[in-house]
């Protein structure tokens, strides 16, 4: 297992462990669960922004594109688990449809997961055209979910 695979496996394990804990929420943990969800989503936004900095703006410092792609793969592993029952109120940008249309939401989350994996594969290939195409597809997947399931 190479270093990048170890990083991805570790991030995925941490994310899944957190998701498992979120499923059994007590009422006093609801706000913390929402905050946790927002932190994960903010992290993904930062990863996308870092990828833009590398791909469009040509920055060659900070996390490598491989590390960014690995982070996106890890953070998209189980997006629906970030939205456990009982976290549908309070300080959240999620629409009620996340819970009332759970299958539609899961389908959109799967599209993001698949797009993140394809982006990571493209990055590993080193093919600039493939990387750019896969990154566009990832952005489209994220946008599709946000348009359907996010306020604002």
pLDDT at 108: 98
- As a whole number of angstroms, the distance between CA 132 and CA 47 comes to 15
Neighbours of 33 (CB within 10 A): 22
Per domain, the residue ranges of the chain are 3-149
Q: Could you tell me the pLDDT band of residue 13, with boundaries at 50, 70 and 90?
A: very low
The dihedral built from the CA positions of residue 55, 45, 74 and 133, taken in this order, carries a sign that is negative
Average pLDDT over residues 35-56: 97
CB 141 within 8 A of CB 79: no
Both tokens of 71, joined, read 């982070």
pLDDT at residue number 6 = 47
Residue 44 CA to residue 25 CA, distance in Å, equals 23
Q: For a pLDDT cut of 70, what percent of the chain falls above it?
A: 83
Question: Is 94 in a helix, a strand, or coil?
Answer: strand
3-149: which CATH topology?
1.20.120
pLDDT digits (tens, 9 = 90+) for 96-148: 999 999 999 999 999 999 999 999 999 999 999 999 999 999 999 999 999 99
When pLDDT is averaged across residues 61-79 and rounded to a whole number, the result is 97
- The pLDDT value recorded for residue 7 is 54
């Amino acid at each position: 297992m190479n270093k990048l695979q170890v990083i991805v496996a570790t991030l995925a394990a941490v994310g899944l462990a957190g998701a498992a804990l979120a499923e059994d929420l007590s009422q006093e943990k609801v706000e913390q669960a929402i905050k946790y969800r927002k932190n994960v989503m903010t992290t993904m936004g930062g990863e996308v922004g870092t990828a833009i900095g590398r791909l469009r703006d040509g920055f060659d410092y900070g996390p490598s594109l491989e590390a960014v792609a690995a982070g996106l793969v890890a953070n998209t592993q189980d997006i629906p688990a970030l939205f456990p029952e009982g976290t549908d109120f309070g300080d959240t940008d999620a629409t009620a449809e996340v819970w009332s249309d759970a299958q539609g939401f899961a389908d959109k989350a799967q599209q993001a997961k698949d797009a993140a994996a394809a982006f990571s594969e493209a990055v590993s290939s080193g093919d600039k055209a493939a990387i750019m195409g896969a990154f566009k597809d990832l952005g489209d997947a994220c946008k599709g979910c946000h348009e359907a399931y996010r306020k604002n």
